Amino acid sequence: MAEEAAQMAEFCGGNVTRFYDVGVAGIHRLLSNIEKINKANVIVAVAGMEGTLPGVIAGLADKPVIAVPTSIGYGSNFNGLSALLTMLNSCAEGISVVNIDNGFGAGYLSTQINRLAVKGNG
């Protein structure tokens, strides 16, 4: 899903920076990249398991976050439903949630947000 979102954004003309394996289980990897992440106009956060990554990023970043729950994972993820519900119930502001495995939709929405941000800065 992450790669699908990135490729869609690139296809629409976006400049994409990818960060992999920066989940909350190894939060030091997220924190070591937060300055680079904050340079983006919009952030797409793809997560499975409990789905807390978008909420954590939204708490650390001052940019819109598009949350993508994935159906892939181990444990009782219920094919992405647990991550989806966590993302929908997040108390962090600035999060939009797309459906399970909807990398395409997240990539397209990120392109629309980025175009508005670029247009506002130009």
Domain ranges for the chain: 2-121
Structure tokens at 110: 């990120």
Computed over its alpha carbons, how large is the radius of gyration of the chain? 13
What do you get for the CA distance between the two ends of the chain, in Å?
31
Candidates 3.20.20.450, 3.10.580.10, 3.40.50.970, 3.40.50.1970; CATH matching 2-121:
3.40.50.1970
pLDDT value of position 72: 87
**Under 8 Å between Cβ of 71 and 50:** no
Query: Minimum mean pLDDT among 42-46, 74-78, 115-119: which range?
Result: 74-78
CA 2 to chain centre: 8
Residue 38 DSSP SS3: coil
Give the residue among 44, 95, 89 at the shortest CA–CA distance from 70: 44
Query: Minimum mean pLDDT among 2-6, 88-92, 118-122: which range?
Result: 118-122
**Under 8 Å between Cβ of 15 and 41:** no
What is the residue whose two structure tokens read 């976050």? 65
pLDDT 10s digits, 8-52: 999 999 999 999 999 898 899 999 999 999 999 999 999 998 899
pLDDT value of position 61: 96
- Residues whose CB is less than 8 angstroms from the CB of residue 9 and which lie 6 or more positions away in sequence, other chains included: 16, 44, 107, 108, 110, 111, 114
